[in-house]
Amino acid sequence: MSRAIILAAVTVFAVGVGAALLAGHEGDEPAPAAAGGRSEAISSTTDATPPVERGLKVRSGSRKEVGAFPLRDGREVHLRTLSTTDGKSCLVQEEPSGAAGFSCLDGGLFAGRKVVWVVNFDGGPGRFSDMYLYGVAAPEVTRVSVERTDGSMVDVEPNADGGFVVESSPRDLELSVFPSGIRLYARGGASLGAIEIPAPG
Please report whether residue 165 resides in a domain: yes
Mean pLDDT of the chain: 80
State the Cα angle at 166 between 160 and 92, rounded to 5°: 65
Please report whether residue 169 resides in a domain: yes
**Residue 112 to residues 15, 26, 193: CA-CA distances in angstroms?**
11, 18, 12
Give 95-136 pLDDT, tens digit per residue: 888 888 888 999 899 999 999 999 999 987 888 999 999 999
Give 84-93 pLDDT, tens digit per residue: 999 999 999 9
pTM for this structure? Answer: 0.78
CB 105 within 8 A of CB 89: yes
Amino acid (one-letter) located at 55: G
Quote the pLDDT of residue 46: 40
Give all strands of the β-sheet with 143-148 in edge-to-edge order.
Answer: 153-156, 143-148, 179-185, 191-196
CB 92 within 8 A of CB 79: yes
Quote the pLDDT of residue 43: 28
Please report whether residue 20 resides in a domain: yes
The DSSP 8-state label assigned to residue 132 in this structure reads E
Domain range for residue 192?
2-196
Please report whether residue 184 resides in a domain: yes
Compute the average pLDDT of residues 36-56.
Answer: 54
- Looking at the structure of the chain, the number of domains it has is 1
Please report whether residue 111 resides in a domain: yes
Give 21-42 pLDDT, tens digit per residue: 222 333 333 433 333 333 333 2
Compute the average pLDDT of residues 4-19.
Answer: 38
Please report whether residue 129 resides in a domain: yes
Quote the pLDDT of residue 117: 94
Please report whether residue 128 resides in a domain: yes
Please report whether residue 201 resides in a domain: no
Residue 2 dihedral angles phi and psi, to the nearest 5°: -75, 140
